[in-house]
Structure 1
Amino acid sequence: MKASQFFISTLKEAPADAEVASHKLMMRAGMIKRLGAGIYNYMPMGLRVIRKVEKIIREEMDAAGAVECLMPVIQPAELWQETGRFDKMGPELLRVKDRHNRDFVVQPTSEEVITDIARQELRSYRQLPKNFYHIQTKFRDERRPRFGLMRGREFTMKDAYSFDRDVEAAGRSYENMYAAYCKIFDRFGLEYRAVAADTGAIGGDRSHEFQVIAETGEDAIVYCPTSDYAANIELAEAVALLPARAAAGQALAKTPTPGKSTCEDVAALLGLPLSQTVKSLVLATDELDEHGSIIKTQVWLLLVRGDHELNEVKAGKIEGMKAGFRFATVGEIESRFGCKPGYLGPIGAKDVKVVADRTVALMSDFVCGANEVDFHLTGVNWGRDLPEPDVVADIRNVVAGDPSPDGKGVLAIQRGIEVGHVFYLGTKYSAAMNATFLDENGKPKLLEMGCYGIGVTRILGAAIEQNNDARGIIWPDAIAPFTVVICPIGADRSEDVKQAAEKLYGELKALGVDVLLDDRGERPGAMFADWELIGVPHRVVLGDRGLKEGQVEYQGRRDDAATKVAVSDIVSHLKAKLKL
């Protein structure tokens, strides 16, 4: 490709609404152009990256035995009503009506449609296993779209769906897709981690997220540097930090703590470590009748150590809270504790179920609220001063330095951007939609399903968040818009420069290199600034003076300075860099 035939449109400054590095740099590099809130045009430079991402995905999905199809963006609401997601998904699901007043949705994902295909087409165990995938536009009506392609409303996603005869076979399909995803992300050239994760709104039992490592990532990734343990912080297991409960060593005392309503303030006032305090969080669950009216409310007191934070995903897995919970109202709190929030504790609470985190359940001589304004209790001990908790569970977020659950070291935490997710769905959708097949005995059985997604356009943002500097983007070779750019200096004034550039361009094209020849006639500074901003990984500069000395300049995008290379050696030099 020659630059004069392509479309290059760079900006010196990013638009004011661009917040994160990837958004700023993609706008400045002319890769995307905003059309509306969370909706972007993919300009030619950005589209080249998208197509390379898609090509890698297709090659590895095909190699793993998946079969490509294409499902529509607009889907009949009836399918979503079968699974209940038409109502459950809430405002993120964009609902539309056609001219006949029939309901449709703009797809955010395609579980319903693919399950409908499967129940019609996969009728016998002889047709299994099957894995269908497509790369298609998706739409989620984000409340607050931001960060460019990182949190847009319209995006491109690869979603795949496996169908199997039983749980064991579904497990094999899951492992097959997990391995394929590792190959995909290896080929992208990105630093990533595959972490155990919560299944979220899609549902299912087994789940891994593929996270691109970036300091600007929204997700916290927990891992053990000395073992294979890795999990999203929502799922990372927090082990008890005490080996056993020590005997009581203090008398229970009601201690004045005027104006000190937080664990941090109480610990500072009493001269105690924050880890000796216990934090009280009050939640509520409602039992509803068939009309949706509340017939009974259960209040829950969740206790975590003062230096820890409640993990709401874990809390939602406690028996009795799985159907959903909310934070209790002030009225509900005052009626059970006789006190406003800030000084709450388990002693004296009425009609409350107490859930203690694993570490709290082993604490002794701890400090908690006295259920009286401006007072806390010190020297509190289980068994002596209050009954054992109703439930002991892992309900907190892990912190760096916690023991790894596998016993092979301590945990570390880093930031990541979720770009892929694999789920084992089981029969969640096949049961809702009666998707069955006939087994060897001619009896109908529900299809076992898996779901596997990659955010195609999100890969661009994540790659840039991980790979950028003060000059612009630094693309990995595999997904760069162009792999090599040839920059002739003064080609309009020197026939030698022009011919040498054309010759090198032709040789690289013949080798299958994705090369661009910048024949725009720009000044060197402007030309170099464009390609550093756009992030082409390899640059060759040809000038009249260098050619007379038999040399050109090579510079990798991460290199601090250019390297002089003999004209006769530049092709072999590039072949080595590109591993051709």
Structure 2
Amino acid sequence: MRLSRYYLPLLKETPADAQIASHRLMLRAGMIRQEGAGIYAWLPLGFRVLKKIEQIVREEQDRAGAVEMLMPTIQSAELWRESGRYDAYGKEMLRITDRADREMLFGPTNEEMITEIFRAGVRSYKDLPKMLYHIQWKFRDEIRPRFGVMRGREFLMKDTYSFDIDESAGRESYNKMFVAYLRTFARMGLKSIPMRAETGPIGGDLSHEFIVLADTGESAVYCDRQLVDMDTPKKDIDFDGDLQPVIDQFTAHYAATDEMHDEADFEKEVDAANRVSARGIEVGHIFFFGDKYSKPMKAVVAGPEGGEIPVQMGSYGVGVSRLLGAIIEAYHDDDGCKWPASVAPFHAGLVNLRAGDDACDEACARIYDELTGQGVEVLYDDTGARPGEKFARMDLIGLPYQIVIGPRGLENGEAEIKRRADGEKSTCAVDAAAAQIAASVKKELSYD
């Protein structure tokens, strides 16, 4: 993509209400634009990252055996009355009426609707287990939206729902999502720590939050340092096999959010040298809640011995849009973002220091064609801006690699390569630049 054709409205000044790095940088880098309290338009650069995060989430859900669908954003109040949550949920739910005075709501979550869909289509235990998911925009009327996409009112969410014949099978589905979440966040370059958590208005007695440690996190968290150093499961994972050893590995050590934290247990279970007390960002939350919804809503199946059995359910959420903020909080410096290749809006930035110069234009065109031909996504700065402005812009948007072509370098047949992660600069032959970048990107994109 040529920058001269792209829409990238950068801000020179940071808005006063942007309190954390991710909010500041997303606004300054032209990724989002605020359209209301906690409501943002996703501009082209931010939207590209959003779609990449969404695709990683989708691939790992598919790998774990979940099946994608899509539910509407507007739901009937009657469904929520069936479960008993309509009056209990609180003012975060946006309640509306249509022209026929039917009570509706803008869905903050989908347990009721997916239960209604399931009960209409599944009759026998032979049709179980089932895991269904969708990726959909939601609205929660937060009393104090803040921190940009980290605590917005409108947000993109992935919800998975599992349906099983008994508690044992339900916990197997829970384990699949547990491991899928570890893999999902690791592919984005994030170290997520599963922590015991409260179930809140979702319900149930088994729940984990997946937390990324960050100074700007909203939650106080406590864990054993061994969890921070633990490797995430990769290609040897068989989602149809026994996942309990992996679960045991990640739950054997102390890890709890503030609501579940017990200082006495923390000191008893964890050596002083390994105690981590920090702030964290929640990027995922999983629940097993049994028949909390299936029983009152009569989501039942015919059991193996006859009779109707309420299915055992779980729900599993990932804040897709929130993840952009979490990744920036984990990867940035004073100059801008530092995107991991797997979620970067473009893999490389190609900087032409003298657009209009025949030699520079020809070299850039050749590198651009070679990279795109190998599947590397390139943002080509072909504008007439000054070099300093071009460098600052590339650092701000944080693409993993920068390739700089200028007259002086071309005299020696060289291109300059900059790696954004650590700022390391090197030179290579102009004719070798594309191959070098392509190999580096391919290596970074490899997870299994």
> 1:483 touches 1:537 (CA, 8 Å); kept in 2?
yes
Residue in structure 1 matching 2:343, options 476, 479, 489: 479
The 1-side partners of 2:425 and 2:343 are apart by 23
3-state SS in 2 of match to 1:141: coil
Query: How far is 1:561 from its partner?
Result: 4.5
Q: Any idea what the Cα deviations from partners look like across 1:359-393, whole Å, max 9, x if unmatched? A: xxxxxxxxxxxxxxxxxxxxxxxxxxxxxxxxxxx
Query: How far is 1:408 from its partner?
Result: 9.9
1:20 corresponding residue in structure 2: 20
Structure 2 gaps of 5+ residues are 228-252, 444-448
Mapped pair 1:144 → 2:8:
no
1:238 corresponds to which letter in structure 2?
A: E
3-state SS in 2 of match to 1:423: strand
The 2-side partners of 1:104 and 1:18 are apart by 34
The 2-side partners of 1:154 and 1:116 are apart by 24
1:452 corresponding residue in structure 2: 316
Alignment of 1:322-341 (within 5 A): none
Q: Any idea what the Cα deviations from partners look like across 1:529-549, whole Å, max 9, x if unmatched? A: 111111111110011110120
Query: How far is 1:226 from its partner?
Result: 4.3
1:33 corresponding residue in structure 2: 33
> 2:18 touches 2:148 (CA, 8 Å); kept in 1?
yes
The 2-side partners of 1:442 and 1:517 are apart by 66
Mapped pair 1:238 → 2:263:
yes
Residue in structure 2 matching 1:533, options 396, 419, 444: 396
The 2-side partners of 1:421 and 1:176 are apart by 14
1:404 corresponding residue in structure 2: 269
Residue in structure 1 matching 2:302, options 414, 430, 438: 438
The 1-side partners of 2:27 and 2:423 are apart by 25
3-state SS in 2 of match to 1:453: strand
1:180 corresponding residue in structure 2: 180
2:53 corresponding residue in structure 1: 53
The 2-side partners of 1:530 and 1:128 are apart by 52
The 1-side partners of 2:274 and 2:385 are apart by 54
> 2:355 touches 2:383 (CA, 8 Å); kept in 1?
no
3-state SS in 2 of match to 1:177: helix
The 2-side partners of 1:515 and 1:158 are apart by 29
| Length-normalised TM-score, structure 1 | 0.70
Residue in structure 2 matching 1:557, options 397, 401, 420: 420
The range that moved more, 424-433 or 189-198, is 189-198
Query: How far is 1:38 from its partner?
Result: 0.7
> 2:371 touches 2:438 (CA, 8 Å); kept in 1?
no
The 2-side partners of 1:516 and 1:93 are apart by 41
1:428 corresponding residue in structure 2: 292
Structure 1 gaps of 5+ residues are 241-397
The 2-side partners of 1:79 and 1:169 are apart by 26
Q: Any idea what the Cα deviations from partners look like across 1:406-438, whole Å, max 9, x if unmatched? A: x89753212110010111111111112111011
Query: How far is 1:87 from its partner?
Result: 0.5
The 2-side partners of 1:26 and 1:535 are apart by 11
Q: Any idea what the Cα deviations from partners look like across 1:240-276, whole Å, max 9, x if unmatched? A: 7xxxxxxxxxxxxxxxxxxxxxxxxxxxxxxxxxxxx
More helix by share: 2
1:457 corresponds to which letter in structure 2?
A: S
| Length-normalised TM-score, structure 2 | 0.90
> CA separation of 1:471/1:162 partners in 2, compared to 1, >3 Å: closer, same or farther?
same
The 2-side partners of 1:408 and 1:69 are apart by 47
> 1:212 touches 1:463 (CA, 8 Å); kept in 2?
no
3-state SS in 1 of match to 2:410: helix
Larger Rg: 1 or 2? 1
The 2-side partners of 1:73 and 1:103 are apart by 14
Mapped pair 1:523 → 2:386:
yes
> 2:376 touches 2:438 (CA, 8 Å); kept in 1?
no
CA RMSD of aligned residues (A): 1.6
1:91 corresponding residue in structure 2: 91
> CA separation of 1:439/1:508 partners in 2, compared to 1, >3 Å: closer, same or farther?
same
The 1-side partners of 2:430 and 2:215 are apart by 41
Residue in structure 1 matching 2:277, options 413, 418, 421: 413
Q: Count the aligned residue pairs.
A: 418
1:267 corresponding residue in structure 2: none
2:122 corresponding residue in structure 1: 122
> 1:224 touches 1:409 (CA, 8 Å); kept in 2?
no
The 2-side partners of 1:107 and 1:432 are apart by 20
The 2-side partners of 1:225 and 1:186 are apart by 17
Query: How far is 1:557 from its partner?
Result: 0.9
> CA separation of 1:234/1:534 partners in 2, compared to 1, >3 Å: closer, same or farther?
same
Q: Any idea what the Cα deviations from partners look like across 1:122-179, whole Å, max 9, x if unmatched? A: 1111111111100101000011111111111111100110000100100110011111
The 1-side partners of 2:226 and 2:304 are apart by 46
Query: How far is 1:476 from its partner?
Result: 1.2
Query: How far is 1:473 from its partner?
Result: 1.1
> 1:403 touches 1:411 (CA, 8 Å); kept in 2?
no
The 1-side partners of 2:423 and 2:184 are apart by 30
Residue in structure 2 matching 1:510, options 368, 373, 387: 373
Query: How far is 1:5 from its partner?
Result: 2.2
The 1-side partners of 2:424 and 2:131 are apart by 48
Query: How far is 1:2 from its partner?
Result: 1.6
The 1-side partners of 2:302 and 2:394 are apart by 58
1:545 corresponding residue in structure 2: 408
